[in-house]
């Protein structure tokens, strides 16, 4: 009898542990209580993986002299509208990012205005980057060629 109780207690313990992990895992994907900014950042993370990762790399550090960094980029902070423009229509020619010169080209990526807003919110709020004001769909729409 004593053994049975021990086994029961043990399995209850193991069961509840398993449950806890599950709860924690799903918490990251809960959408109910997301603010509009949190949702935009989460959607933008997926856009980033699909469209920007290859050049700007998962940690946003870029690659050597070819691809400029987004993490800690002064260009991104100082030139918010130009950044939106670059994502919508591409960017080429000489630019300075954190005092380093880049002279390369980024082709337009074919994103929707919403995807552009989302990826902007993602890159402006990731890798210790911070943003004062969320990028909205209206703001992206207003940036024309």
Q: Tell me whether residue 86 is exposed, middle or buried, using C-beta atoms within 10 angstroms of its C-beta: 0 to 12, 13 to 18, 19 or more.
A: buried
124 counts as binding ligand HEC under rule CB under 6 A: no
Q: Rounded distance, CA 86 to CA 39, Å?
A: 23
Nearest to 49 by CA among 101, 2, 100, 119: 119
Site string for ligand HEC, 12-31 (x = CB under 6 A): --------------------
Verify binding: residue 55, ligand HEC, rule CB under 6 A: yes
Minimum Å gap between C-beta 18 and ligand HEC is: 38
Which CB, 6 or 103, lies closer to ligand HEC?
A: 103
How many degrees, rounded to 5, is the angle at CA 38 between CA 59 and CA 42?
50
Q: Which of 103, 108, 112, 142 binds ligand HEC (CB under 6 A)?
A: 103
Q: Does 118 bind ligand HEC (CB under 6 A)?
A: no
The residues near 90 (Cβ < 8 Å, ≥ 6 apart) are 105, 106, 107, 108, 109
Residue ranges in contact with ligand HEC by CB under 6 A: 51-52, 54-56, 67-70, 73, 75-76, 83, 86-87, 91-93, 95, 97, 102-106, 109, 119, 123
């Amino acid at each position: 009898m004593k053994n049975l109780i021990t086994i029961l207690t043990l399995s209850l313990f193991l069961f509840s542990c398993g449950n806890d992990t599950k709860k924690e895992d799903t918490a990251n994907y809960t959408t109910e209580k997301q603010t509009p900014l949190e949702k935009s950042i989460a959607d933008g993370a997926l856009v980033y993986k699909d469209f920007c990762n290859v050049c700007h790399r998962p940690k946003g550090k870029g690659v050597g002299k070819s691809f400029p960094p987004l993490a800690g980029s002064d260009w991104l902070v100082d030139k918010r509208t130009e950044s939106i423009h670059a994502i919508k229509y591409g960017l080429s020619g000489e630019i300075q990012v954190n005092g380093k010169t880049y002279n390369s080209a980024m082709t337009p990526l074919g994103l929707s205005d919403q995807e552009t807003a989302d990826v902007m919110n993602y890159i402006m709020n990731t890798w210790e980057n911070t943003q004062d004001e969320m990028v909205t769909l209206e703001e992206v729409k207003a940036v024309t060629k």
